[in-house]
Amino acid sequence: MAEAPARRSRMGRVTVLVIMSAACLSLAFLGLRAATKSHSPENSTEDVLTVDTAPVRVQPMPVLLESVGQVISEHVVQVRPQVSGMLKRVYIVEGQRVSVGQHLFLIEPEPYEASKSAMQAAWESADGKLQKAVVLAKQGYVASQDLVAVRAAAEQAQAAYKQAMINLEYTDVRAPIAGRTGILGLKTGNIVSPTDPTPLVTINETRPIEVQFSVPQQSLSAVREHQTTNNLKVEVVTDDGARVLDEGTLIFIDNAVNTRSGAVLLRARAPNKQEQLWPGQYVTVHMQFSMEQRAIVVPQTAVQTGQDGNFLYLVAEGKAQLRNVKVDREMGALAVISSGLNGDEQVVARVPRGLRSGARVTASPVDSPTKAAITLPSEP
């Protein structure tokens, strides 16, 4: 009888273990099923990237040579005093535009007026003696040698009088050219002299004005060819290429290539009527050679560089597709593509970090530039 309760107790423990094992197996099965279901393709939650896109354009594009240049004045004059004296008046202000012959400075004229009067009187006296000597010489009362001496004295007096008049004119300092004045070297009350190291003022001619720039020697033949066929037009723009400052023509090609840089110096002249070009200013220079009528262009930011060359990403059917391309030339904010595109695609204009071929994307169209210039280095 005692064995029966013990047997029932062992059977109860076995039953509990079996139930617990079944419960664990059921939980494991449910967890595996849920995990399998969450990783099924129809329930994938892959991130979708939003990318800026731009259309591939087919449009006429100018073939331009671009270089960095510096504006220089075609004519620079340092105005210096020609006579000594006190600077009595200054008629201009710094930075003023002046015309040819305009009053600039007045050096105290009184000493030179007195000298002129004295020299005039001396010349009139010597001339009177000469006229009298000529009459007497005809009558035989004056020897020829004496007549020569009197004539020489009169001529010397006349020359001294002319020099006195010139010195008096030098006291009125006028502008020799039209242009813009710089910093005044001296103010009124100072004593000035022709030997002063500092000029009274410097005048830069600004209308017209020149732009000096260099191009690689590889481009020299093209520049000369287009210069001989027609006047090579030059466009001067801001550093960012956003605004045209002026247009001019090529006027000078240096007669030798710089052996250190491998570049040749060029100069262009622009009318600069609005004075948007200033001496010393750095600008961008464009020279147009020809026009490519059907150029395939994309934003320059869309082009990436890999181990196998250039590539970009297209957007098609909601996914990014990698496309290898060949860049013919970079034109500022644009890149001209020679192969790899047809002209009717959409490209990723700005490639975000982590973008890969086949990734799901959402297109966000952005404006793309339509005008640019070939960028060629000034030095190889």
pLDDT digits (tens, 9 = 90+) for 70-89: 999 999 999 999 999 999 99
Say if residue 64 is in the same domain as residue 95: no
Please give the residue range of the domain that contains residue 132.
110-170
pLDDT bracket for residue 196 (50, 70, 90): very high
CATH of the domain at 162: 1.10.287.470
60, 218 in Cβ contact below 8 A?
Answer: no
Q: For residues 97 and 180, is the Cβ–Cβ distance under 8 A?
A: yes
pLDDT grade, residue 277 (50/70/90)?
very high
Domain co-membership, 243 together with 373: yes
Confidence of residue 21 (pLDDT cuts 50, 70, 90): low
182 part of a folded domain: yes
pLDDT digits (tens, 9 = 90+) for 357-377: 999 999 998 876 655 544 443
pLDDT at residue 41, as a whole number? 45
127 plus 219 within the same structural domain: no
Indicate if 190 and 142 belong to the same structural domain: no
What value does the CA radius of gyration of the chain take, rounded to a whole number of Å?
Answer: 44
- Both 379 and 343 in one domain: the answer is yes
Say if 306 falls within a structural domain. Answer: yes
Residues 209 and 351 in one domain: yes
The mean per-residue pLDDT over the stretch 253-274 comes to: 95
- pLDDT greater than 80 at residue 23: no
Range with lowest mean pLDDT among 33-37, 62-66, 80-84, 268-272:
33-37
Closest-CA residue to 338 (of 348, 327, 324, 346): 327
- 23 inside domain: no
Residues 216 and 290 in one domain: yes
pLDDT for the residue 163: 96
Q: Which residue has the higher pLDDT, 110 or 26?
A: 110
Whether 378 shows a pLDDT value over 80: the answer reads: no
CATH at residue 283: 2.40.30.170
Are residues 235 and 358 both part of a single domain? yes
Please give the mean pLDDT across all residues of the chain. 86
Report if residue 380 sits inside a domain.
yes
Same domain for 303 and 357, yes or no, is yes
Using alpha carbons only, give the angle 20, 26, 29 rounded to the nearest 5 degrees. 145
Report if residue 28 sits inside a domain.
Answer: no
Assigned domain for 263 exists = yes
- pLDDT on residue 58: 92
SS (H, E, C) 202-222: EEECCCCEEEEEEEEHHHHHH
Please tell me the predicted confidence (pLDDT) of residue 75. 96
- Same domain (yes/no): 165, 306: no
Q: What integer is the mean pLDDT of 228-236?
A: 84
Q: At residue 337, does pLDDT exceed 50? A: yes
> Are 239 and 93 contained in the same domain?
no
Structural domain total, the chain: 3
Tell me if 237 is assigned to some domain.
Answer: yes
Dihedral sign (CA 241, 245, 249, 252): negative
Q: In the 8-state DSSP scheme, what is residue 41?
A: G
Please state which of the ranges 20-34, 66-80, 146-160, 240-254 shows the lowest mean pLDDT. 20-34
Asked if the structure places residue 348 within a domain, the reply is: yes
Cα(80)–Cα(196) distance, integer angstroms: 8
Residues 221, 306, single domain; the answer is: yes
Residue 374 confidence (pLDDT): 43
The phi and psi torsions of 248 (rounded to 5 degrees) equal -150, -160
